Amino acid sequence: MKKFLKYALYLAFALTLHQEIWGNLTFGPDKIFTIIKASLVLAFFELILKPIVKILLLPISFVTFGLIRIVINTLGLYLVTFLLPIITVSSFNIYTWSLSGFLAYVGTSFFISLFLYIFKVI
């Protein structure tokens, strides 16, 4: 339980930081409670579902040299937007590249995972 709450806190910070830097996440009118709900769903995905999906996709991971992990993280973000429809992911720009649609989900999940990794190391 302690690890779950720690992950939820890290993910809440990661979601908030991503929103402040890139601004492509919309949490609706009740922003704080929506971020808490999203971080709890993402923590459940990170600790329970992600290891199972990694084991199931292990052969594909060997073939793609581990790049399937980005798609697994994107699946977690899509799960959050599916379970909490008040959260939306819109397009955003990185320098001259405009990421929209599926690439917006991939970019957003990449940066959230990067922030999560930084928070776990610190």
The pLDDT tens digits for 83-108 are 999 999 999 888 888 999 999 999 99
What does the pLDDT look like over 11-58, one tens digit per residue? 999 999 999 999 899 998 999 999 999 999 999 999 999 999 999 999
pLDDT on residue 122? 84
The encoded tokens of residue 63 equal: 């073939």
What confidence score (pLDDT) does residue 8 get? 96
Q: Which helix (H) or strand (E) covers residue 26, if one does? A: strand 25-26
**Nearest-CA neighbor of 18 among 77, 65, 62?**
77
- Which tokens hold the place of 57? 């996709």
